[in-house]
Amino acid sequence: MTVTLEDLERLLDGEGLRYSVGRDPDTLSLGLTGFHGNYVLVVEPALEGRYVRVRTLRYAFCCSENQHMLSVLRLLAELNYQMSGIKFGWDPSDGEIDCTVEATVEDAELTQQQFHAMLCRYLPQLDLSFRRLLLVIETGEVKPDDLPGSDGLPPALRRELDEFLDDLTSGDGDG
């Protein structure tokens, strides 16, 4: 079974998200605002509908001549190692850094619950990693509060994630 653009529209509708057809007519685009930035996401069927891919557009930029490039690449590698299923990438041709999550759809339909879980894993990490990435691009340094704790998350990000989850579960959030 494969996923179609219409399937993705139904899943996004089920999440209550507003979207539009992207520049590429086989994609859907949406904008989201987090605690640390505004993000443009593309949702698309990939590999002939065998995958669902959610990726950022213009998440961040770091040209190859940046004096902190090695630190940026180290951070991207660390994020990729720590975050199961979420991939940060850097395009050396234009310096774009993106963040992607994919789900395999081989022999079953992607359910609303699976799609919801995919977004719940992806969106907080996308937002929580943004400030840290920009800091490393600008300074090449990671503050001690940005270093991973025993759960793999930096203490500052752990506190923000806990606050975010508290807001979601208390019903006080704007979402």
pLDDT computed for residue 160 by the predictor: 79
CA–CA gap between residue 101 and residue 56 (Å, rounded): 10
pLDDT computed for residue 167 by the predictor: 78
Q: Which of 51, 55, 34, 32 is nearest to 43 (CA)?
A: 55
19-48 confidence digits (pLDDT tens): 998 788 899 999 999 988 999 999 999 888
Confidence check: pLDDT of 15 > 60: yes
By mean pLDDT, which of 59-68, 78-87, 152-161 is the weakest? 152-161
Determine what percent of the chain is predicted with pLDDT higher than 90: 55
CA–CA gap between residue 57 and residue 44 (Å, rounded): 13
pLDDT computed for residue 69 by the predictor: 94
The token pair that represents 125 in the structure block: 């990490």
pLDDT computed for residue 150 by the predictor: 46
Domain ranges of the chain: 5-170
Question: What is the maximum span of the chain, computed from C-alpha positions, in angstroms?
Answer: 47
For residue 49, what pLDDT band results from cuts at 50, 70 and 90? Answer: confident
pLDDT computed for residue 172 by the predictor: 53
By mean pLDDT, which of 9-13, 45-49, 137-141, 149-153 is the weakest? 149-153
Confidence check: pLDDT of 5 > 50: yes
- From the centroid of its chain, how far is CA 5? 20
Higher pLDDT, 87 or 153: 87
Beta-carbon count within 10 A of 65 CB: 7
74-96 confidence digits (pLDDT tens): 999 989 988 888 999 999 999 99
The 3 state secondary structure assigned to the chain is CCCCHHHHHHHHHHCCCCCEECCCCCCEEEEEECCCCEEEEEEEEECCCCEEEEEEECCEECCCCCCCHHHHHHHHHHHHHHCCCEEEEECCCCCEEEEEEEEECCCCCCCHHHHHHHHHHHHHHHHHHHHHHHHHHHHCCCCHHHCCCCCCCCHHHHHHHHHHHHHHHHCCCCC
Q: Which CATH number fits domain 5-170: 3.30.1460.10, 3.20.20.370, 3.90.1150.10, 3.40.50.1110?
A: 3.30.1460.10
Write down the mean pLDDT value for the chain.
86
Q: What average pLDDT score do residues 92-102 get?
A: 95
